[in-house]
C-alpha cells in the first residue's frame, strides 16, 4: 500500500545504525507504539486504549495487510504512519517506534516478534505467544540477546475482579483449595472466521481455553503435573479443521483438580468457580472485556458476599505498565515464561486428545513462571464504547 506523505526522503535515508536501539529514555518520555494487525481485538480494544494510556504511551504507526483498514483507521486515530506487512522491514529501519503490539494470527507472532526485537524494539504480544515451545523460547532468547522487553498480553493480570478472586482464594478464607471449574464459550457463525483455520493456530483451546488455563494457574499458584482432554468433533463443515469444543482436566501433585470446557459452538459463557474446604467463589463474565463482572464469595455458616465491578478498559493498563517497565528498565510480568507455561499445557492437552491418555507436564525450572499476578498490579480505567470498525466482525 502507499506510504504516508509524512515520510520524507531524508527520513528514508536514515541508516539502521541510527535507529533508537535501546537508547536511555527520560522518565517523562512516551513510548511510541506500532500496532501490528488490525483485527477485532486491536480495533475494538487496543486502539481506543491509547487515549487512557496517554501519560506514557503514544500510537505512531499501523501495520496491516488491508489498505482500507490502514487508510480509515489512520484517519480515525490520527496516526501518521501506515505500513503493509511487506513493508515491515522498512518500518523497522525508520526508527519511528520504540515498541510494537502484536495482534496477528497466532502462527505469525514469533516471526514478527523476533524481527522486531532484533531491530531493537520492545514487544507486547497477544497470547498465545507462539504455537510451539521452540518458537516461544526463540522469542524469549531474542529479548535477552537484543536487550529488549517481551511481555505476554494478559490483560486480566491487571484486572481488579480477577486479582481479587486470586487474593481471596489464597487468603485462607476458602480453606484448602480443592477444585476449579470453568466454562468459556461462544458461537462462531461465519465459516470463514480465521479462528476456524488450523494452519494459523485456530481452535478454541488456543483462542479461549488459554484464558481458563491461565486463570487456573493464577488461582492455584502452581503448575499442573498431568493433564487429560477430550475434543468434540461435529459434522458441521465449519469445524472441519478445528475441534468445536474441548473438555480438559488438570491434575496437581497435591491432589487439587481443575477442569474447564471451551467451545466455538455453545452459548456465550465466561465464568469460573473455585471450591475449597471451607467455602467457594464464583466470578461471572470472568474473561470478558466489554461487560461488568460479579464476584460471589461463600464461606462457612452460610455467609455470602458479592463484589460488583463496572465495565473497564482492560487494555490501557497493559500499555501503561509496559511503557513504565521500558522507561524505568523494570522486569515485566507477565513475562515470556508466563506465556510459555500456558503454551506448554495446551500442547500437552492436544497430545492427550491425540493419544486418549493423560500426559505429564514438564516441570523444568527453565519453563516455569517465576511470579504470579497480585493485587499490587491492579489498574482501572473507565470502559470504552465500541468504536467504528473497518472490515472486521465480532467473532461472536
What's the confidence (pLDDT) of residue 305? 96
Q: Which residue has the higher pLDDT, 350 or 369?
A: 350
Question: What is the tens place of the pLDDT at every residue in 121-136?
Answer: 999 999 999 999 999 9
What's the confidence (pLDDT) of residue 221? 95
Q: Which CATH number applies to 160-311: 3.10.620.30, 3.40.50.300, 3.40.50.620, 3.30.360.10?
A: 3.30.360.10
- Grouping H, G, I as helix, E, B as strand and the rest as coil, residue 306 is strand
Question: What is the tens place of the pLDDT at every residue in 186-211?
Answer: 999 999 999 999 999 999 999 999 99
- Mean pLDDT throughout 166-195? 96
Hey, do 21-155 and 160-311 end up sharing a CATH topology, with the first three levels equal? no
pLDDT at 372 over 90: no
Query: How much of the chain exceeds pLDDT 90, in percent?
Result: 86
Domain ranges of the chain: 21-155, 160-311
Question: What is the tens place of the pLDDT at every residue in 255-280?
Answer: 999 999 999 999 999 999 999 999 99
- Mean pLDDT throughout 241-266? 97
Backbone angles phi, psi at 130, to 5 degrees: -155, 180
- Mean pLDDT throughout 164-173? 97
Task: Report residue 160's pLDDT band, with 50, 70 and 90 as the boundaries.
Answer: very high
- Mean pLDDT throughout 78-89? 98
Instruction: Count Cα atoms within 13 angstroms, Cβ side, for 32.
Output: 18
Instruction: Count Cα atoms within 13 angstroms, Cβ side, for 295.
Output: 20
Task: Report residue 224's pLDDT band, with 50, 70 and 90 as the boundaries.
Answer: very high
Measured between alpha carbons, how far is 319 from 50 in angstroms, rounded to an integer? 8
- Mean pLDDT throughout 63-79? 98
Question: What is the tens place of the pLDDT at every residue in 5-18?
Answer: 334 333 333 433 33
- Nearest of 186, 194, 124 to residue 154 by alpha carbon: 124
Backbone angles phi, psi at 99, to 5 degrees: -155, 160
Mean pLDDT of the chain: 92
State which fold the 21-155 domain adopts. Answer: Rossmann fold (3.40.50)
What's the confidence (pLDDT) of residue 25? 56
**Cβ pair 329, 25 in contact under 8 A:** no
- Mean pLDDT throughout 315-319? 98
Measured between alpha carbons, how far is 396 from 393 in angstroms, rounded to an integer? 8
- Grouping H, G, I as helix, E, B as strand and the rest as coil, residue 9 is helix
Query: How much of the chain exceeds pLDDT 70, in percent?
Result: 91
Amino acid at each position: 500500500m502507499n506510504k504516508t506523505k509524512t515520510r520524507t526522503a531524508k527520513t528514508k535515508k536514515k541508516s539502521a545504525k541510527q535507529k533508537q536501539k535501546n537508547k536511555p529514555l527520560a522518565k517523562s518520555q512516551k513510548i511510541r507504539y506500532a500496532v501490528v494487525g488490525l483485527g477485532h481485538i486491536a480495533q475494538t480494544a487496543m486502539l481506543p486504549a491509547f487515549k487512557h494510556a496517554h501519560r506514557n504511551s503514544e500510537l505512531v504507526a499501523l501495520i496491516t495487510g488491508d489498505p482500507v483498514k490502514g487508510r480509515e483507521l489512520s484517519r480515525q486515530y490520527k496516526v501518521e504512519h501506515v505500513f503493509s506487512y511487506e513493508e515491515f522491514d522498512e518500518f523497522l529501519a525508520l526508527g519511528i517506534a520504540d515498541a510494537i503490539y502484536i495482534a496477528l494470527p497466532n502462527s505469525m507472532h514469533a516471526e514478527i516478534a523476533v524481527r522486531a526485537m532484533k531491530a531493537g524494539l520492545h514487544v507486547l504480544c497477544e497470547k498465545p505467544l507462539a504455537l510451539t515451545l521452540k518458537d516461544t523460547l526463540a522469542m524469549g532468547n531474542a529479548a535477552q540477546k537484543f536487550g529488549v522487553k517481551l511481555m505476554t498480553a494478559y490483560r486480566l493480570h491487571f484486572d481488579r475482579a480477577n486479582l481479587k478472586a486470586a487474593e481471596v482464594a489464597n487468603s485462607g478464607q476458602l480453606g484448602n483449595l480443592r477444585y476449579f471449574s470453568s466454562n468459556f464459550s461462544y458461537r462462531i457463525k461465519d465459516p470463514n472466521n480465521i479462528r476456524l483455520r488450523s494452519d494459523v493456530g485456530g481452535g478454541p483451546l488456543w483462542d479461549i481455553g488459554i484464558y481458563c488455563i491461565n486463570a487456573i494457574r493464577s488461582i492455584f499458584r502452581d503448575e499442573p503435573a498431568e493433564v487429560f482432554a477430550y475434543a468434540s468433533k461435529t459434522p458441521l463443515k465449519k469445524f472441519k479443521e478445528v475441534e468445536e469444543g474441548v473438555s480438559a482436566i488438570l491434575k496437581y501433585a497435591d491432589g487439587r483438580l481443575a477442569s474447564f470446557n471451551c467451545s466455538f459452538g455453545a452459548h456465550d459463557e465466561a465464568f469460573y468457580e473455585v471450591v475449597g474446604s471451607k467455602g467457594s467463589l464464583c466470578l461471572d463474565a470472568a474473561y470478558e472485556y466489554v461487560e461488568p463482572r460479579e464476584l460471589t464469595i461463600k464461606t462457612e455458616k452460610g455467609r455470602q458476599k458479592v463484589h460488583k465491578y463496572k465495565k473497564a478498559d482492560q487494555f490501557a493498563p497493559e500499555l501503561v505498565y509496559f511503557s513504565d517497565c521500558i522507561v524505568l528498565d523494570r522486569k515485566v510480568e507477565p513475562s515470556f515464561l508466563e506465556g510459555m507455561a500456558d503454551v506448554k499445557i495446551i500442547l500437552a492437552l492436544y497430545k492427550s486428545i491425540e493419544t486418549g491418555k493423560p500426559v505429564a507436564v514438564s516441570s523444568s525450572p527453565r519453563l516455569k513462571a517465576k511470579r504470579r499476578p497480585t493485587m499490587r498490579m491492579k489498574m482501572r480505567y473507565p470502559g470504552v464504547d465500541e468504536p467504528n470498525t473497518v472490515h472486521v466482525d465480532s467473532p461472536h
